[in-house]
Amino acid sequence: MARIAYLEPDQVKPEDQDIMAGNYSAFKAMAHSPATCRQFRAMVYHLKTTALDPRLRELALIQVGWLSQCRYEWFHHVKTGLESGVSEQDIRIIIDGSPQAYARLDEPARLVLEATCQMYIGPASAQIVTALERVLGAQALVDLIVAMGFYVGGVRILGSFDLDLEPQYEPYTKRFPLRANGLAKESAQ
């Protein structure tokens, strides 16, 4: 159960109807502050259009979801990732999290996951940033760092609201379950 009431389209002003498109729990919760919701939503959609390869972007976002154990983030990006070139094996590697598992990834994916782990707790190291720029180029590097920073903050927001998962994401809860107990787990759902 969400910690904040969801607003429905008939509860927001006509000029704010755009923030309700898609019927997502996150935007229904944030609709209490239409301007903030609009900016958050704009960034979410912008990050899908950057120079960063969609698979690499989704690997980073899935990694953030796993590290935080944020149910809403994890299942949204597992589904989106599988639709964007992330394989089931990639997801299993994130779940495993060991250096041996990461070694099975191609270099760009491995570097993205390592950078994401670093950025989850602080800034990415100079070594990782340099390696990522070599592999991705400067534009995609900037897009990746901004996406990771945004989504690390995003899981704090989404986890604080304890949002309900929409029905289209439920099938992934059995296929890729979160840890039953984890220090970072944001809810008991």
Neighbours of 12 (CB within 10 A): 18
CA distances from 64 to 78, 114, 182 (A): 11, 11, 14
Q: Is residue 22 part of a domain?
A: no
Q: Is residue 105 part of a domain?
A: yes
- Distance in angstroms (rounded) separating the CA atoms of residues 187 and 81: 23
Name residues whose C-beta falls within 8 Å of residue 133's C-beta, 6 or more positions apart in sequence.
141
- Name the pLDDT band for 1 (thresholds 50, 70, 90): confident
Q: What domain range is 57 assigned to?
A: 48-175
Q: Where residue 53 sits, what CATH number does that domain have?
A: 1.20.1290.10
pTM summary value: 0.92
- Distance in angstroms (rounded) separating the CA atoms of residues 36 and 30: 7
Domain count, the chain: 1
Q: What average pLDDT score do residues 158-164 get?
A: 95
pLDDT digits (tens, 9 = 90+) for 92-136: 999 999 999 999 999 999 999 999 999 999 999 999 999 999 999
pLDDT digits (tens, 9 = 90+) for 47-66: 999 999 999 999 999 999 99
Name the token pair of 185. 């787990």
Q: Is residue 119 part of a domain?
A: yes
Q: Is residue 32 part of a domain?
A: no
Q: Is residue 37 part of a domain?
A: no
